[in-house]
């Protein structure tokens, strides 16, 4: 391979990996061309990319792209896989495809500055993806809101029913005249005694004293 071709390949690797932070490495040594095309198509439909690399050149590019630890995963015919929402989605897709694609082997992955083994990639594939997590959070939030609304409206319903019961009783009680206590009527009669009786008592008193 000429120096010129190597430089072109290295430039191509660097251009495609410029904004990549999560990736996986698979070996496609036993995969024929037809199945490899179908595999790439499936990845592309999910927003995931794959690139067969020359290991020596790719190691150099990974070092300059801040992905140097991932270079340890390159051994034999290697294909880099990246894209999607996270390494979890990549892992899920690769594990799913590996079941029906004889000859493909998952070598491992790289994310958040650390290497993931093939066993860890398989474990990541069982985790919920971003959309599933959002759905779970929304579902819990809606459930909490429904419970809060039920607690908030239940007391209001009881108060409203009491108000309606009072409205049924209030007209009858307002129509009936209020009864006066016995003591108050007697006091009113005493206060209504004619004024001319008082002078008679005073006159009698003065005559007896005289």
Instruction: Report d(CA 115, CA 18) in Å as an integer.
Output: 19
**What local confidence, expressed as pLDDT, does residue 3 receive?**
86
**What local confidence, expressed as pLDDT, does residue 186 receive?**
47
Q: Which residues contact 25 (CB under 8 A, 6 or more apart)?
A: 70, 73, 74, 78, 79, 80, 81, 106, 107, 108, 109, 110
| Domain residue spans of the chain | 3-127, 128-168
**What local confidence, expressed as pLDDT, does residue 103 receive?**
84
pLDDT (tens digit per residue) in 89-119: 999 999 999 888 888 899 999 998 899 999 9
In the predicted structure, residue 178 carries a pLDDT above the cut 60: no
Number of residues that this document lists for the chain: 210
Give per-residue burial for 121-136: e unless 16+ CB within 10 Å, then b. bbebbeeeeeeeeeee
**What local confidence, expressed as pLDDT, does residue 147 receive?**
57
H-helix segments, the chain:
3-16, 33-45, 55-64, 87-100, 118-124, 130-175, 182-191, 197-209
Nearest partner of 108 among 136, 87, 126, 129, judged by Cα? 87
**What local confidence, expressed as pLDDT, does residue 128 receive?**
75
Instruction: Determine what percent of the chain is predicted with pLDDT higher than 90.
Output: 41
Q: Which residue has the higher pLDDT, 92 or 151?
A: 92
Task: Say which range, 2-11, 72-81, 87-96, 134-143, has the weakest mean pLDDT.
Answer: 134-143
pLDDT (tens digit per residue) in 43-55: 999 999 999 999 9
User: What secondary structure letter does DSSP report for 127?
Assistant: S
- Mean pLDDT along residues 136-160: 52
DSSP β-ladder status, 78-83 and 23-27: antiparallel
- Mean pLDDT along residues 152-160: 53
Q: Which residue has the higher pLDDT, 124 or 172?
A: 124
* CATH fold of 3-127: Alpha-Beta Plaits (3.30.70)
User: What secondary structure letter does DSSP report for 75?
Assistant: -
Number of Cβ within a 10 Å radius of residue 80: 24
């Amino acid at each position: 391979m000429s120096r010129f071709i190597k430089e072109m390949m290295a430039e191509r690797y660097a251009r495609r990996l410029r904004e990549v932070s999560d990736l996986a490495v698979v070996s496609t040594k036993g995969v024929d061309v037809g199945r490899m095309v179908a595999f790439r198509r499936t990845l592309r439909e999910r927003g995931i990319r794959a690139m067969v690399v020359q290991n020596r050149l790719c190691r150099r590019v990974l070092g300059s792209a801040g992905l140097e630890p991932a270079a340890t995963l390159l051994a034999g015919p290697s294909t880099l896989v990246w894209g999607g929402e996270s390494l979890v989605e990549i892992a899920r897709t690769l594990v799913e495809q590996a079941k029906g694609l004889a000859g493909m082997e998952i070598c491992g992955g790289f994310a958040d500055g650390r290497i993931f083994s093939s066993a860890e990639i398989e474990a990541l594939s069982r985790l919920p993806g971003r959309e599933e997590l959002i759905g779970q959070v929304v579902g819990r939030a809606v459930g909490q809101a429904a419970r809060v609304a039920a607690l908030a409206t239940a007391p209001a319903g009881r108060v409203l029913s009491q108000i309606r019961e009072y409205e049924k009783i209030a007209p009858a009680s307002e129509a009936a005249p209020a009864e006066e206590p016995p003591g108050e009527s007697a006091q009113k009669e005493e206060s209504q005694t004619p004024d001319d009786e008082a002078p008679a008592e005073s006159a009698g008193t003065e005559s007896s004293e005289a």
